[in-house]
């Protein structure tokens, strides 16, 4: 996943109390950080620095924007568009740190500030986008854009600003603008509530187990860690199993006790919808209704229609078609996989029907029977440092010529965070990369990338980017051994990091990952290909104790099983994507009152209501779409994967892992950020449009 930096454009906002207080120089956000590449001075930043920096940042930007809007001189590209791109530096500095740390390392002060800020920032952004004088200047320039002799990136920037303003409501009447502001402010607050509930609910839903026996199947180390986690919560003698973001939970793969599996999955599925303080049902209904009302105000039939217009997919028909076409073959695959699982259960005289809590456990047995290996055989070969340095980094060196050097002199916000200098092929510094790999109770689930500093030639900035994962931290002195999925996530997130680090654009609006949401997962997915590329795998997949390479037979089996369990994977993903679309394709007067009832009817209608495969996220903990930037956009992973699979084919056709291929991909795609139409960019890279066949082939959806 990629986490959009708060895209803040400021406005005139009355800031209570602080209106005259400029930021004291002692506030670390008052000036650009003097650390390399403006790396944030994490050691100097205190909780109480954020609020004043935000208030002053909004105020400064409001003043900058007022100056642009009220300029007596006729509008020019420089005095209007470029001036806006330069505005808001302070706000950008504070929001790039706060925005990320409130996901990666939150605390009560952060949460309180987030609740306070969300509506203010939304009002702030509205006041700019709805500033009539400013819009008039943009419109004047836009109408004569062909005569301005702008270079292609500048012309696109002008068009982009015009579109952004129109989509933000610049053409509305004054009364409707007021309505819009109210919607935006309420929605900002509700999204904050939603994500805070998800984190608190995940912590509150951790499974408490009384005896070691109930955890049979888990390693002794994992059970000890569960005991320590319980003790830390004052439940000495018991065991605590944390809940991860997705519906599926990693321990389900190994737990032999069916009741424990059932309890763990039930706890995961019930999140946000069983009453209590962190129930998200009412929040979801309010968000869905307000989004639909806002879309109607802006002239769209639904929130999805509004969102998709600005994506490469363009409209709901295109998305519904893709999801609809894939659903049946995916569920058919899942049913076949379930039959294989049932055969194992029956052979063991289990005496029960395969259910959702059994899938991961028994699918591993099917894997063992069919390919003669199980997930646990892989883990000793996937030690974190090996995968990172000799896999992820090594691949980037082979493909793009970039190199890495860890440094310990820069401050971090948490002792586990690691920092690397990244050098280009010519030896010059390209970027700084941060890796924050371990799970914590104050870190939201899942994995994501963000930029602390975005690249821009206009501002003279180079990228400082970070990857965040949620790998369970082993006991002190123990190695961090990754599952197959965790290793893949490491490659995936680094693909986003490359997109940020290779950015070579003039304007911040187009830096790195600022591309359509259904395109942004494409470069990250492409980077996953190197995980199992033989030359790379040989280089990193070494036994953590003996250093022995992964045996060739095991490696071959890993490759051969690549399509294994794809029916499950595709179905759970499609179910979540369909939920996202259905919630957001509703007009306001059709928003239901029963969240779970609506959810089941949607899944049934779409033919993806196959009980052993629940959606990857259920509505009430689906942060991507109710709190993150993926509303009506979760389908984008699959949309991007079409490009990804077609690109993997291109690499393979052209000799695979070679610098010339990496350089072409970097130059044509990874360096361009949002400076071009995404599909045009793809065409120039590939020489044609993407075909769907490589995706169908990969997902095992052909001839189904
Ligand atoms: Zn991603």
Read off the pLDDT of residues 301-354 as tens digits, 9 standing for 90 and up.
999 999 999 999 999 999 999 999 899 999 999 999 999 999 999 999 999 999
pLDDT category at 1 given cuts 50, 70, 90 is: low
Q: Are 129 and 168 in contact (CB under 8 A)?
A: yes
What is the spatial distance between Cα 472 and Cα 637, in angstroms, rounded to a whole number?
25
Alpha helices, DSSP H only, in 79-214? Answer: 83-86, 89-104, 108-129, 132-143, 152-167, 174-204
Angle at 447 between CA 445 and CA 448, to 5 degrees: 120
CA of 623 to the centre of ligand 1 (A): 14
Mean pLDDT of 674-697: 93
CA of 380 to the centre of ligand 1 (A): 26
- The pLDDT tens digits of the residues spanning 281-311 come to 999 999 999 999 999 999 999 999 999 999 9
What is the spatial distance between Cα 493 and Cα 523, in angstroms, rounded to a whole number?
10
Q: Are 212 and 237 in contact (CB under 8 A)?
A: no
Q: Are 470 and 445 in contact (CB under 8 A)?
A: yes
CA of 470 to the centre of ligand 1 (A): 14
Q: Of 1-15, 493-507, 598-612, which gets the smallest average pLDDT?
A: 1-15
Q: Are 447 and 77 in contact (CB under 8 A)?
A: no
Give burial (CB, 10 Å; 0-12/13-18/19+) of 132.
Answer: exposed
- The pLDDT tens digits of the residues spanning 419-446 come to 999 999 999 999 999 999 999 989 988 8
Please say if the pLDDT value at position 411 is more than 70.
yes
* pLDDT for the residue 17: 35
Helices 636-653 and 566-584 sit at what angle, rounded to 10 degrees?
140
Residue 36 tokens read as 């390399």
* pLDDT for the residue 187: 95
Please say if the pLDDT value at position 7 is more than 90.
no
Please say if the pLDDT value at position 138 is more than 70.
yes
Please say if the pLDDT value at position 117 is more than 50.
yes
CA of 551 to the centre of ligand 1 (A): 30
Q: Are 10 and 4 in contact (CB under 8 A)?
A: no
Please tell me the total number of residues recorded for the chain in this structure: 704
- The pLDDT tens digits of the residues spanning 228-277 come to 999 999 999 999 999 999 999 999 999 999 999 999 999 999 999 999 99
Cα four-point dihedral sign 639, 641, 647, 653: negative
In Å, how far from its chain's centre is CA 574? Answer: 17
CA of 524 to the centre of ligand 1 (A): 6
Residue 284 tokens read as 């979801």
* pLDDT for the residue 444: 87
* pLDDT for the residue 3: 57
- The pLDDT tens digits of the residues spanning 433-492 come to 999 999 998 998 889 999 999 999 999 999 999 999 999 988 888 999 998 889 999 999
Mean pLDDT of 639-651: 95
CA of 449 to the centre of ligand 1 (A): 8
In Å, how far from its chain's centre is CA 444? Answer: 11
Give a three-class secondary structure readout of 209-260: ECCCHHHECECHHHHHHHHHHHHHCCCCCCEEECCCCCCCCHHHHCCCCHHH
CA of 411 to the centre of ligand 1 (A): 26
556 vs 584, residue with greater confidence: 584
Single out the residue of 133, 151, 149 nearest to residue 71, CA to CA.
Answer: 133
C-beta atoms surrounding 576 within 10 Å: 26
CA of 73 to the centre of ligand 1 (A): 44
pLDDT category at 2 given cuts 50, 70, 90 is: low
Q: Are 659 and 397 in contact (CB under 8 A)?
A: no
Which of the 8 DSSP states describes residue 4? Answer: P
The alpha carbon torsion through 299, 304, 310, 312 (nearest 10 deg) reads -140
Q: Are 690 and 640 in contact (CB under 8 A)?
A: no
CA of 108 to the centre of ligand 1 (A): 28
What is the spatial distance between Cα 128 and Cα 693, in angstroms, rounded to a whole number?
45
What is the spatial distance between Cα 285 and Cα 596, in angstroms, rounded to a whole number?
11
Span between the terminal Cα atoms of the chain, in Å = 29
CA of 494 to the centre of ligand 1 (A): 9
| 699 phi/psi in degrees, rounded to 5 | -85, 5
Mean pLDDT of 505-531: 96
Give burial (CB, 10 Å; 0-12/13-18/19+) of 597.
Answer: exposed
Angle at 77 between CA 73 and CA 79, to 5 degrees: 45
Please say if the pLDDT value at position 196 is more than 60.
yes
Please say if the pLDDT value at position 696 is more than 90.
no
Single out the residue of 197, 49, 50, 187 nearest to residue 125, CA to CA.
Answer: 187
Mean pLDDT of 594-604: 98
**Segment (H or E) for 468:** strand 464-471
Residue 378 tokens read as 């892989």
CA of 489 to the centre of ligand 1 (A): 8
Residue 334 tokens read as 């899942």
pLDDT category at 493 given cuts 50, 70, 90 is: very high
> 435: which strand partners?
418, 467
pLDDT category at 703 given cuts 50, 70, 90 is: low
Give me the percent of the chain exceeding a pLDDT of 70.
97
Over its C-alpha atoms, the chain yields an Rg (Å, rounded) of: 25
CA of 625 to the centre of ligand 1 (A): 14
Residue 40 tokens read as 């944030």
Q: Which residues does the annotation mark as catalytic?
A: 493
Please say if the pLDDT value at position 379 is more than 70.
yes
Q: Which residues of 240-254 are buried (b: 16+ CB within 10 A; e: fewer)?
A: bbbbbbbbbbbbbbb
Give burial (CB, 10 Å; 0-12/13-18/19+) of 10.
Answer: buried
What is the spatial distance between Cα 509 and Cα 501, in angstroms, rounded to a whole number?
15
Please say if the pLDDT value at position 16 is more than 70.
no
What is the spatial distance between Cα 167 and Cα 454, in angstroms, rounded to a whole number?
24
What is the spatial distance between Cα 182 and Cα 189, in angstroms, rounded to a whole number?
11
Mean pLDDT of 189-214: 95
Q: Strand order of the sheet with strand 403-407?
A: 403-407, 418-423, 429-438, 464-471, 448-453
What is the average pLDDT value for the chain, to the nearest integer?
93
């Amino acid at each position: 996943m990629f986490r959009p930096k708060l895209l803040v454009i400021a406005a005139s906002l009355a800031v209570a109390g602080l209106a005259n207080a400029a930021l004291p120089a002692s506030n670390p956000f008052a000036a650009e950080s003097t650390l390399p590449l403006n790396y944030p001075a994490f050691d100097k930043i205190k909780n109480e620095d954020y609020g004043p920096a935000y208030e002053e940042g909004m105020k400064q930007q409001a003043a900058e924007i007022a100056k642009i809007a009220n300029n007596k001189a006729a509008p020019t590209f420089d005095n209007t568009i470029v001036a806006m791109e330069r505005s808001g530096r302070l706000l950008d500095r504070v929001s790039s740190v706060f925005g990320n740390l409130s996901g990666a390392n939150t605390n009560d002060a952060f949460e309180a500030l987030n609740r306070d800020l969300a509506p203010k920032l939304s009002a702030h952004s509205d006041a700019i986008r709805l500033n009539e004088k400013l819009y008039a200047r943009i419109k004047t320039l836009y109408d004569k854009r062909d005569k301005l002799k702008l270079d292609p990136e500048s012309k696109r920037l002008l068009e982009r600003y015009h579109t952004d303003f129109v989509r933000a409501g610049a053409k509305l009447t004054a009364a409707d603008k007021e309505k819009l502001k109210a919607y935006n402010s309420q929605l900002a607050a509700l999204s904050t509530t939603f994500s805070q509930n998800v984190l608190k609910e995940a912590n509150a839903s951790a499974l408490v187990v009384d005896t070691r026996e109930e955890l049979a199947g888990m390693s002794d180390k994992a059970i000890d860690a569960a005991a320590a986690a319980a003790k830390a919560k004052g439940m000495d003698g018991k065991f605590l199993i944390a809940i991860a973001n997705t519906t599926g939970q990693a321990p389900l793969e190994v737990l032999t006790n069916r009741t424990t599996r059932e309890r763990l999955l039930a706890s995961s599925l019930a999140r946000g919808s069983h009453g209590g303080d962190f129930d998200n049902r009412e929040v979801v209904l309010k968000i869905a209704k307000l989004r639909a009302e806002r879309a109607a105000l802006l002239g769209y039939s639904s929130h999805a229609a509004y969102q998709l217009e600005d994506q490469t997919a363009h409209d709901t028909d295109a998305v519904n078609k893709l999801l609809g076409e894939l659903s049946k073959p995916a569920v058919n695959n899942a049913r076949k996989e379930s039959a294989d699982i049932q055969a194992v259960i029956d052979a063991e005289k289990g005496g029960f029907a395969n259910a959702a809590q059994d899938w991961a456990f028994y699918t591993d047995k099917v894997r063992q029977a069919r390919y003669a290996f199980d997930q646990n055989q892989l883990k000793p070969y996937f030690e974190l440092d090996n995968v990172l340095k000799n896999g992820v980094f090594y691949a980037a060196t082979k493909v793009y010529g970039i190199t890495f050097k860890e440094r310990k002199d820069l401050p971090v916000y948490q002792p586990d965070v690691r920092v690397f200098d990244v050098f280009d092929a010519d030896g010059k510094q390209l970027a700084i990369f941060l890796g924050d790999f371990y799970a914590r109770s104050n870190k939201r689930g899942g994995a994501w990338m963000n930029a602390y500093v975005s690249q821009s030639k206009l501002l003279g900035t180079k990228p400082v980017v970070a990857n965040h994962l949620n790998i369970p931290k082993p006991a002190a002195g123990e190695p961090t051994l990754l599952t197959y999925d965790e290793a893949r996530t490491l490659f995936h997130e680094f693909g986003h990091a490359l997109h940020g680090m290779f950015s070579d654009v003039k304007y911040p609006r187009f830096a790195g990952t600022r591309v359509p949401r259904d395109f942004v997962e494409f470069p990250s997915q492409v980077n996953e290909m190197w995980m199992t590329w033989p030359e790379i795998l040989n280089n990193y997949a070494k036994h953590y104790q003996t250093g022995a390479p992964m045996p060739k037979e095991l490696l071959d089996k890993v490759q051969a099983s690549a399509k294994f369990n794809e029916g499950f994977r595709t179905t759970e993903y499609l179910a979540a994507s369909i939920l996202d679309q259905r919630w957001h394709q509703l007009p306001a007067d059709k928003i239901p009152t029963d969240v779970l009832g609506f959810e089941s009817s949607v899944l049934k209608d779409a033919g993806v209501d196959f009980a052993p495969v629940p959606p990857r996220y259920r509505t009430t903990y689906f942060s991507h779409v109710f709190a993150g930037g993926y509303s009506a956009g979760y389908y984008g992973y699959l949309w991007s994967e079409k490009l990804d699979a077609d690109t993997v084919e291109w690499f393979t056709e052209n000799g695979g892992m070679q610098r010339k291929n990496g350089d072409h991909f970097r130059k044509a795609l990874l360096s361009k950020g949002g400076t071009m139409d995404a599909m045009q960019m793809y065409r120039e890279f590939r020489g044609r449009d993407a075909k769907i066949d490589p995706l169908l082939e990969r997902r095992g959806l052909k001839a189904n």
